[in-house]
Chains A and B, each alone.
Chain A
Amino acid sequence: MPLLILRRLGNTIPTIVAVVLVIFTLFSVIPGSFTSSGDDGRMLDAQVMERMRKELGLDEPLYQRFGTYVANLAQGDLGTSFRTREPVTKIIAQRLWPSLKLTLAAMGFAILVGVPLGFIAALKPGSLIDMATMVVAISGLSLPKFWLGLMLMYLFALTLGWLPSFGYGDGGIRHLILPAVALGVSPMALLARTTRAGVLDVLNADFVRTARSKGMSEYRVVRWHVVRNALVLVLTTIGLQFGSLMGQAVVVEKLFSWPGLGSLLVDSVFQRDIPTVQGSILVIVLFFLLINTLVDIAYVIIDPRIRYG
């Protein structure tokens, strides 16, 4: 097992290098710079812009900037934000926990609702509950997060008055519920569909038919055969969704004024705060890779037959 973990982690290094290279190059060649990203009519003075470019190292050649960036990165230094003039590591650290909290809550919602729904639907194929589940799943997948978030605000904050409509508050659960649901509906829907498909697949497998023909009770069939075998597919979906959820949180975080990495990334992109963009994307990618590695390890635990090269 330790060897597996090491090998998986080793495989992520080329991915990280490629991501760093692509992000750096991309944000260095696209037009517009931090100094020219002023808001409504507030352009900077030309001399100030020039001084700022020098101060931020934007006047240096691309290869030189890349070299400095990689050298700093090797020492765990993600650079200094153009916008706040603070270390990117510090800025990201401030945003990481709210993002993780939101992602975990959204995924928790998705798993707690999506997986049971998918199971129930698969166990009663063609039933009313099956059709209802699929309607929920398709709607959940197709609803834009922005619109859904707004509807949740209108319903639970404005109409019912149960929850606050925005913000982080004191970090408590009341402020977390609406953004988590808005973010979690899409993976919930996907999980419901995947679970249903996975369970149906297993239910139609030969070994399940054999188990049933041997007189095994339906409860035991589901408990011992279906759950375990369907779980690999479900786990894959959970891993992929969980990994990408932090990146998907952008819209929700902006809408709910949630202090996470997503909103930081959007602000930084529009203001061409390249070090913060690079740092944020890097952390999101690392999170994705980490979750995938954890999922791979979980496969082996669930199904010891699985082996990696």
Chain B
Amino acid sequence: MRKMLLAATALAFVLGGVAEAQTPRKGGTLRLTGPYGASLGSFDIHTTPRAQDGIVAKILHRALYNWDTQNNKPVLELAKSVTVSADGLVHTFKLRDDAYFHNGRRMTADDVIWSYTRIMDGSKGFPGARYVRIIKGAVDVEKGTAKEISGLRKVDDLTVEMTLTSRVDPGFYFFNDTTSILPSEEVAKTTFAAAPVGLGPFKFVEHVPGSRLVAERWEKFYKPGKPYADRVHLMVMGEAAARDVAFRNKEIDTSILGPAQYVAYRADAELSKNILEVAEVFTRNMQMNQAFKPFSDKRVRQAFNHAIDTDLIIKRLVRDKAYRATSWLPIASPAYDKNMKPYAFDPEKAKKLLADAGYKDGFELEWTTSQNESWGLPIVEAAIPYLSRVGIKVKAKLVETAVLTEVAMKGDFQGYITSNQTGPDSLSTLRCFDSRTPRTACNYTGFNNPAFDKLLDDAAAAPDEAKRNALLSQANAFLYEEAPVWFFNYNKAAMAFQPWIHGLQANATELAHQYPEDIWIDERSPAAK
């Protein structure tokens, strides 16, 4: 009995200790990093789609939805509830009554309508237009034939009715930072892009261009008790080696790891304890242009997938900082089928497939690539010997990343290696292989298969989420079979963090996009005060 009592006491002590250690602590400065090289662009988040600016957006701005990193799905953020009509087209949002802009004004339905209308301004190239376009009448505003989006209606100050053009989940569209809700009176000021006002957990204080952003706690943020930290410092640190020194020197709390750092950190007894990993919604692949004769034959495309020892390239060259791609949809996708197996490395089968397709002696391929270390020239160079063994003679054509998009959109390639954002919305990403999607819109391979199109249409019309995901999963399996691309890998993003920082999330949409209101630091941090 005494032993049991002792054990219970010890257990209570341990649990109590854990509970206390996990109780978020208020105060201090979060020292996050912007790892994507370029200095921050505009803080008018409607104008910029860049990942680096998205980190800032999470600090300063908020959109109608947010991304639930644990369950990998969009959740309401600026609305308390949503009701959906029977046909799935009309969504009525009850907005939060406690969301205040950093200038102290409460957010209303007018702000939502104004923000979406602004994004559709036809004279501007706002990147969020691709998402807002799903609202009925948005395209009319874009074309300049209407001044208001007919599918948006203010029911009252805190209720917005949104009519969509098709039966899709608006959460996948309106969680994107580029659709953040902004205050019109502040945007009208010429200073807005440099000194923004938003709905986020922190308000803007200072920006040293090319170096850092400083923001402080917004006391009227709508989530009770949050944010925990007093301030956020976002350091622009594009150089991985410099980040490594700063991280080891305890000057920063988080650091996105490149392949070289990933290996070093994993090998270090201490640093390896604090690495956050996630399979991001990016699929690295080589797109095969169907207009290039050999690739119009499915067997050639399959042969290509069998010919390369993809696992070995991931292990040795990508240093295991990736997950083997089974098909197009990434692991975090709701329609991802974890039972799928990737193409096996089987040169003999590849040779047979090529012979069956009439390419017994192989063929010559010009493979367009950028310098990118994770999905560029080094990967192409590693694949060349494998392809050579089955008769495919590859000549690498090196271009800059900025050129790669143009090459893809013009169809000016035989094959090109890239990294595609393949989520989180499974339907829209699979539409990139819909024959009705133009090459410029993302059907870069020129894939054309009516059976595949029908699967997508059926999924779009599915009555519920489970049915839709099942159909999308089928479509994904169909793509695996058709192999319009070489399925290389899903990006494994890795973030090193200091032992005193808590509340970081494995955000599959972009690991660097953290929710700063959930993050707190304990007293061990040099910036705890």
Contacts and interface: CB of A to CB of B under 8 A. Distances in A.
In the complex, which of the residues B36, B52, B210, B251 has the most CB atoms of chain A within 10 Å of its own CB atom?
A: B210
Interface stretch (A45-53, A68-76, A131-139, A228-236): A45-53
Given A46-B440, A149-B242, 10 more contacts: A32-B406, A36-B403, A41-B419, A45-B441, A52-B124, A157-B245, A157-B246, A167-B251, A257-B210, A263-B39
Interface stretch (A3-11, A81-89, A194-202): A81-89
B39 A51 contact: no
19 contacts: A31-B399, A32-B405, A37-B405, A40-B491, A42-B50, A43-B420, A51-B142, A54-B125, A55-B123, A83-B48, A84-B193, A85-B193, A153-B242, A157-B245, A166-B245, A167-B235, A257-B236, A267-B38, A270-B402
Nearest to A264: B210
B405 A257 contact: no
Contacts of A40: 36, 51, 282, 419, 491
B341 interface: no
Interface centre among A45, A53, A94 (most CB of B within 10 A): A45
A38 B209 contact: no
B438 interface: yes
B342 interface: no
B211 interface: yes
Given A48-B127, A150-B241, A158-B249, A38 B211 contact: no
B184 interface: no
A264 B421 contact: no
A206 interface: no
- Chain B: interface residue count, which band? 35 or more
A164 B405 CA distance: 39
Contacts of A287: none
A272 B36 CA distance: 16
B311 interface: no
Interface in A139-187: 149-150, 153-154, 157-158, 161, 164-168
Given A150-B242, A257-B235, A46 B441 contact: yes
Contacts of A154: 245
A49 B402 contact: no
A158 B51 contact: no
Contacts of B249: 157-158, 161, 165
Interface in A22-67: 31-33, 35-56
Contacts of B402: 31-33, 36-37, 270-272
**What's the interface size class on A, roughly?**
35 or more
Interface of B: 36-39, 41-42, 44, 47-52, 122-127, 129-130, 142, 193-194, 208-212, 235-239, 241-242, 245-246, 248-249, 251, 282, 399-406, 408-409, 418-422, 438, 440-442, 491
A39 B193 contact: no
A257 B237 contact: yes
A255 interface: yes
B426 to A, nearest CB: 16
Contacts of A149: 242
A254 interface: yes
A95 interface: yes
A106 B419 CA distance: 40
A230 to B, nearest CB: 39
B143 to A, nearest CB: 10
B242 A165 contact: yes
Interface in A254-271: 254-260, 263-264, 267, 270-271
B129 A51 contact: yes
A43 B211 contact: no
A35 B408 CA distance: 13
B389 to A, nearest CB: 30
A209 to B, nearest CB: 53
Contacts of A35: 125
A253 B48 CA distance: 24
Contacts of A260: 210
B19 to A, nearest CB: 35
B123 to A, nearest CB: 6
A166 B51 contact: no
A91 interface: yes
A86 B246 contact: no
B129 A45 contact: yes
